[in-house]
Amino acid sequence: MTLACLIGLGADAAALQRRLASLRVGPFAIEARPHSDGGFAGLQVNVNVPGGLSHAHRRRDDILALIADADLPDAARRLSAAVFTRLAEAEAKVHGTTAADVHFHEVGAVDSVVDIVGACTALCALGVDRVAVGPFPQGRGARGGAHGVMPIPAPATVELLTGFDVVQTDEPFELVTPTGAALLTTWARSLAADGPAVEGVMRASAVGIGHQKLSARPNLLRARLIESRPREAQRDECLVLECNLDDTVPELLGSLAERLMRDGALDVFTTPVHMKKQRPGCLLTVLCRPEDRDRLIDLVFAESTTFGIREYAARRTVLTRRHVAVNTPYGGVRVKVGAWKGHDITRAPEHDDCARLAAERGVPVRAVYEAALRAM
């Protein structure tokens, strides 16, 4: 249904087919056809596998290797890997194992791999740089699966939707699958809108229609493509979480900072401080959205030695920002541009792009960075 929405918004199904063939998961064909449900017209997508032999059991690392070797845009490769990693972490928590040891059953099948990587590739092809999602509908009852009878929502879905808004329905069906939950929640966090909810000019809308016939509602997913309206600045409320640390190994602080940013923190930094008895230590500061508070506090307690975390509300004024792709002698680089009162005042090449190109071309990162600034 997600892939159907993105094709409906303008992603080229034939181009996706060609790109995804490089995954080397075996033959398949993406079929998109008009369909309707409950009076709503839209698209329904099938990933057809010859002979139906699609149910290979794959580990996370097997799928990540397929993605790494495929001919995909870098952004699509990173987003696809993030979705499977998040899904593996959820399954691992449910089954009491590690993400590396999780065996994907239905999700490891050819059609599911094509669904997930195809959706990420289509999203990037549309040039989407921010994603917002509404409340997730919850079905009730139970369904059969690779592990026998499973409650609805599936345990992995419950884990993936933790921290997101949900609404309960009377439908005795699975309305949000682990695959759908992994896609949308990863996008919502990895491509989160800065400041207030996404607003602007609606350029297109599309409806993806599912295969299950529901009891009292059409089985559809609706997506809207919105072109953000430039604003002088964005103002919002955030939380500041902080704690003093003097007995946490520095390397652990580094990995904690990376985890916090990956899990939705707006910013993470440390400040050298002198604590009681003049012990050297550091002040860990985390900026976050109020809705991410509980998850990030859990992470700080789990990954550091602190006995307490202070928190207070803060107001931010942030520049209107956008990404511009520029060409340099070393390759393409994304540059983040910040505007204030109608004028571009800040330009920052994305370090990851510069570092990757520098490694590929054997030149200093600074050379790529300065070339990107000149190209602006």
Parallel, antiparallel, or unpaired: how do β-strands 136-138 and 166-168 relate?
Answer: parallel
Query: In this predicted structure, what is the pLDDT of residue 200?
Result: 76
Arithmetic mean of pLDDT, 40-62: 82
Instruction: Summarize pLDDT for 321-349 with one digit per residue, the tens.
Output: 888 888 999 988 999 998 887 788 999 99
Compute the half-sphere exposure of residue 221: CA atoms within 13 Å on the CB side of its CA. 28
pLDDT at 33 over 60: yes
362 DSSP 8-state letter: T
Give the other-Cβ count within 10 Å of 362's Cβ: 7
Query: In this predicted structure, what is the pLDDT of residue 228?
Result: 75
pLDDT at 67 over 70: yes
The residues near 254 (Cβ < 8 Å, ≥ 6 apart) are none
Tokens of 262: 């990956």
141 DSSP 8-state letter: S
Tokens of 207: 């409806």
Helix, strand, coil abundance in the chain, percent, nearest 5: 40, 30, 30
Model confidence band, residue 194 (pLDDT cutoffs 50, 70, 90): very low
Q: Quick check: do 234-308 and 318-375 share a fold? A: no
pLDDT above 90 covers a percentage of the chain that reads 62
Arithmetic mean of pLDDT, 136-165: 86
Q: Mean pLDDT of all residues in the chain?
A: 88
Residue-by-residue DSSP string for 17-41: HHHHGGG-S---EEEEEEEEETTEE
pTM above 0.95, yes or no: no
- Find the distance separating the first CA and the last CA of the chain, reported in whole Å: 38
User: Left if phi > 0, otherwise alpha if psi is -120 to 50, otherwise beta: which for 219?
Assistant: beta
Arithmetic mean of pLDDT, 44-51: 88
Query: In this predicted structure, what is the pLDDT of residue 123?
Result: 95
Model confidence band, residue 110 (pLDDT cutoffs 50, 70, 90): confident
Arithmetic mean of pLDDT, 97-116: 79
Arithmetic mean of pLDDT, 163-192: 91
Query: In this predicted structure, what is the pLDDT of residue 107?
Result: 57
For domain 234-308, the CATH architecture is 2-Layer Sandwich (3.30)
Give the other-Cβ count within 10 Å of 79's Cβ: 24
Q: How far apart are CA 149 and CA 146, in angstroms?
A: 8
Q: Under a CB-based contact definition with an 8 Å cutoff, are residues 136 and 181 in contact?
A: yes
Element (H, E) at 142: strand 142-145
Q: How far apart are CA 270 and CA 278, in angstroms?
A: 18
Fold of the domain built from segment(s) 318-375: Ubiquitin-like (UB roll) (3.10.20)
Q: How far apart are CA 88 and CA 251, in angstroms?
A: 25
Query: In this predicted structure, what is the pLDDT of residue 272?
Result: 93
pLDDT at 18 over 50: yes
- The domain spans of the chain are 2-228, 234-308, 318-375
Compute CA distances 355 → 68, 198, 325, 333, whole Å. Answer: 18, 30, 16, 10
Q: How far apart are CA 133 and CA 106, in angstroms?
A: 25
Q: Phi and psi (nearest 5°) for 307?
A: -100, -5
Q: Phi and psi (nearest 5°) for 108?
A: -85, -5
